Structure 1
């Protein structure tokens, strides 16, 4: 097993437990306010974002000269959020998407080498600029997941 597989704590069980045990199904798409996402939207976004960032990492490993990432106003990101709000995917669809995204992350981590993690890459957003692959993973996958776990817990407490 390569070192990279143990570096990052991606909470697969945490999301599935939130989906199965914490968020009441009948409240999955209740928004605490018109400006806030429902838990269902958050889950759907996480599945899409993970796969997006795994693909970005693969692209830059294949061609280190390209810039990767996206901004908050990215049309695909926004369309994904709107899709979840309108179609309200079922808990099974959400679970499948989260599991698929976890599988993609695991597949990437299993093939990353320590030297891959140290490669410097250019984020398209000047706010992030030049960063190591390790830092990109930590911020855009690990921290991103943790922020959304906290968001889901906050939303559940607001809608109960």
Structure 2
């Protein structure tokens, strides 16, 4: 794993999310493509909570290699962030995501290739024991990219439905 590529990919995804979301109407921001799908705002507040969570987990694993990492889908802070989507302003969430762009480099930038190989067990049995590189790639880089695509899908589906 090339850390500079991981940093740039994550930052690019966040920048695209911010740029894409800035000009959206309030109706589109709150629109859900289906009952079991997230609105753009729910995706945004999720990213605003999840990325700092995973950056904190990475920092903790760097300080204490080999300790358990992760959480389940029913994590209280994760669910509270989603529940707050209706109370948060788009401007506030996007400003927070801007701050996360800078934090990505601060946390990931100093990581060495030896640290990337350090393995730790996940609290989620689905993952088992993984190297730090997996946590970064799967839960930061790929996570940001997949939600960027999700927001764009929501916009396409909204435009098709209207």
What is the TM-score when the length of structure 2 is the normalising length? Answer: 0.87
Runs of 4+ in 1 over 4 A off after TM superposition: none
1:51 aligned residue: 52
- Asked if 2 retains the 8 angstrom alpha-carbon contact of 1:48 and 1:101, the reply is no
1:20 aligned residue: 22
Distance 2:37 2:54 in 1: 23
Distance 1:114 1:39 in 2: 36
CA deviations on 1:7-51 (whole Å, 9 max, x unpaired) are: 441123211221125x33442112223222110110111121100
Secondary structure of the residue aligned to 1:28 is: helix
Once the two structures are TM-superposed, the CA of residue 130 in structure 1 deviates from its matched residue by 0.8
Distance 1:12 1:34 in 2: 25
Of residues 44-53 and 56-65 in structure 1, the stretch that sits farther from structure 2 once superposed is 56-65
What is the TM-score when the length of structure 1 is the normalising length? Answer: 0.88
Secondary structure of the residue aligned to 1:67 is: coil
1:24-43 counterparts in 2 under 5 A? 24-43=25-44
- Asked if 1 retains the 8 angstrom alpha-carbon contact of 2:120 and 2:131, the reply is yes
1:70 aligned residue: 71
Of residues 6-15 and 143-152 in structure 1, the stretch that sits farther from structure 2 once superposed is 6-15
Structure 1 stretches of 5 or more lacking a match? none
